[in-house]
Chains A and B, each alone.
Chain A
Amino acid sequence: MRKAGDIIGQESRDTYSICVGPVHPALKEPVRLNLRVRGERIEHVDFELSQVHRGIEWMGTRRNPIQILYLSERICGICNICHTFAFCRAVESIAGIEVPPRARYIRTIVAELERIHSHILWAGVAAHELGFDSAMHYAFRAREKVLDVIENLTGNRIMKAIMMIGGVRRDMDKGQARLVMEAADFYSRCSRKLEKIFLGDPVIKSRTRDTGILTRHDCLALCSVGPTARASGVRKDVRQDEPYGAYPDVGVKAMTPDEITGETRGDVYDRIAVRLREIKQSADIIGRCVKDMPEGKIAHEDKANVLLGELRGVQGEGIGRHEAPRGEVFHYVKLVGEEAPYSWKVRAPTYNNLLSWIPMMLGAQIADIPVIAASIDPCMSCTNRAVVTGPGRRQVLGQDMLHDLSVKRTRELRRGLRP
């Protein structure tokens, strides 16, 4: 492990090492990029994760599934619906719980509201990284309305706490439906306006066009997900490929840049275009959902203790997938008939997307680092895991060590299984 001081500075006559992060104005969350540059050009990229490990999965295996719901919201502030949604789907698939149709629609509406707010936030951050603070403030003002609607629906602006295993916790009345419809109309228009600002501005275009290109080939090889993959022309969207919630009724089509700008280059500009058009897509989905919302129950079981009792009786493994604003989020849960799950594993979309930084940044300029880093919409606290800390030592578990640990664990399990 290198020390913080020794990688900064001159390495040879004409290349420099620059270290971006873990704390740097270009980054909203801690990650460390080690770059070798020649003049302004980047020649080598590497990054170090696990600067913000919190041990949430470990905490989860000591709590019951309903407590985990609230814990999983805290994995990430912006994607709090994504993680609870995926976790609920995993547990529901184990227990064979059928979610009432009305609850599926409400879940979809809230998830899409979250996508709108996340994408607008991202657009603001991207503008800030480009040094265009006016566009950032415009985007943040546009984001206020969706936050107000979310607050009206769920009681909170960010931490929505509306998901429940087998349904949702709050119903939507007529007044709220009207508010949501208004917001959907507003964001249909707003997305056009944002597109005009971000895609029409010549300086933004000159900074982002052909910057940070991720080819379709690299994208497939690195398993990128979400808007990062779609901007490279890979039609990949959980809502389209494996519809859940109300998405089968609505019919979502993965958004690729050729539908917006007529061509797919896989650069930062395409990623901006895809995200901004997805705001409109989300607004349309919300509109459909509110219009077609069925009546009925909103939860499989109202009483939490009854539900817990039911879950205590089930055994098995399940996965839950959800298309988060950043891409596919994936939860694995194993219940063994006890209060707490035996295992809970979270794979956030940023984990897949991070490696695409390397092909994007090679050959770019230092000035492009912030916007390329931001263009995959990284969410570090979702991603970090596997770090061992203690007084005087800090170690990231590498592949070898993880392999050894897995082998050791398997042997222990085998021994335990013997009669």
Chain B
Amino acid sequence: MIEGLLLRTALVPIIACAGILLGLLYRGLDRVLVARMQSRVGPPVTQPFRDVKKLLLKENIVPRDAVGWIFNSVPVIALSVTVLILLYLPFIGMEPVLEGHGDLILVIYLLLIPSLALVLGGFSSGSTYATVGAQREMVTMMSYEFPLAVASVSIAWIISAANPGIAAFSLGAIAMNPAWAAVGPLGLLGLALLLLTMLAVMPGELGVAPFDVAEAETEIAGGVLVEYSGRNLAMFYLADAVKAVVLGTIVIALFLPWGIAGSLGITGMAAVAADAIFYLVKLFIVIFVGSIFIRAAIARFRITQVVKAYWGYATFVSLLGLLLISLDMLSRLL
């Protein structure tokens, strides 16, 4: 028991570092790939690491009008909570470090905190641009919460129906029991719609185009982050990078949880390595579809259009998915 606890404690810093490194690496890939899609050369993949290094060396300016303690504490909160979420997720194909201590519902609540930190940071920085940005961030957050919740709850429902007695909201359990296997054709369609919803929620959560209204460089000059610099900005940057990994991992756990080792017939350490690599590939695909590609392909929405897209279309699609899944369940009961 104690050994297990020690092992888990030892894993925490490793996962935190791996999450940050992976986040920055995918951020680098994002920048190169977007550049290639825009017929540019783009920066080297290591550019985000250099950016963070540079930001950490820069002066940390706190505006005169800012509420200092909030302004300085929210970047730490944003980064630490984002890393904390990773501990509840099946990261790199492993069982979650904090398995049994928190489930999908907790993760969804925790996901709010980095956004709330941004909102607080924006309001506390004493700039009009940041205030506008913070209002927009809040509205965006409220808009994508519902479709996200519908998608998550539907998956848990499917799994609990298929495996009675299981802790259905536990991410370990969700990852072990792919929802796709537990439903019929109607349910498959419903799940596909839910996957689509999740992928649509991703850019909103990550604040990338077309949902980058809270930062909208050309409109409000960086919005919530306009007054942030140096170390504080670096922490928000890192939190953002890790959040991409977090969201990717959630989508993988909910919708694409399979490993590759079983089908290749590999066992032992090689199996762990194969699954880890397969996880990285899946993560790349999810981030590519949910963030990189969409960022290069679409212009920025207005905040009213963001609300319409999430409260209107995404909610409709997710509810339709839920409806199809319930029909599927009913048809099997009958």
Contact = CB atoms under 8 A, between A and B. Distances in A.
Interface of A: 8-9, 16-19, 24-26, 39-40, 127-138, 141, 201, 203-204, 206-207, 365-370
B128 A128 contact: no
Given A25-B222, A203-B301, A204-B299, 12 more contacts: A18-B129, A18-B132, A25-B221, A127-B299, A131-B210, A131-B216, A132-B209, A134-B37, A137-B40, A203-B210, A365-B303, A370-B219
B302 to A, nearest CB: 4
A369 B301 CA distance: 13
B296 A134 contact: yes
A206 B309 CA distance: 12
Which 4 pairs of residues, A with B, have the shortest CB-CB distance?
A: A131-B300, A132-B299, A137-B38, A367-B302
12 contacts: A18-B128, A18-B129, A127-B299, A130-B218, A132-B298, A134-B34, A135-B299, A138-B39, A203-B301, A207-B299, A367-B213, A370-B218
A128 B218 contact: yes
Which interface residue of B216, B220, B296, B305 has the most chain A CB atoms within 10 A?
B220
A211 to B, nearest CB: 9
Interface string B222-257: 100000000000000000000000000000000000
Contact of A134 (B132, B216, B219, B297): B297
Interface residues on B, range: 20 to 34
B219 A26 contact: yes
Which interface residue of A17, A24, A131, A132 has the most chain B CB atoms within 10 A?
A131
Given A16-B128, A137-B38, A369 B219 contact: yes
A274 to B, nearest CB: 20
Interface of B: 34, 37-40, 127-129, 131-132, 135, 209-210, 212-213, 216-222, 296-305
A134 B39 CA distance: 8
Nearest to A132: B299
B302 A365 contact: yes
Given A131-B210, A138-B38, A138-B39, A366 B296 contact: no
Nearest to A16: B128
Contacts of A8: 127-128
Contacts of A134: 34, 37-38, 296-297
Contacts of A137: 38-40
A26 B218 contact: yes
Contacts of B299: 127, 130-132, 135, 201, 203-204, 207
Contact of A131 (B34, B40, B209): B209
A18 B127 CA distance: 10
A40 B305 CA distance: 13
A131 to B, nearest CB: 3
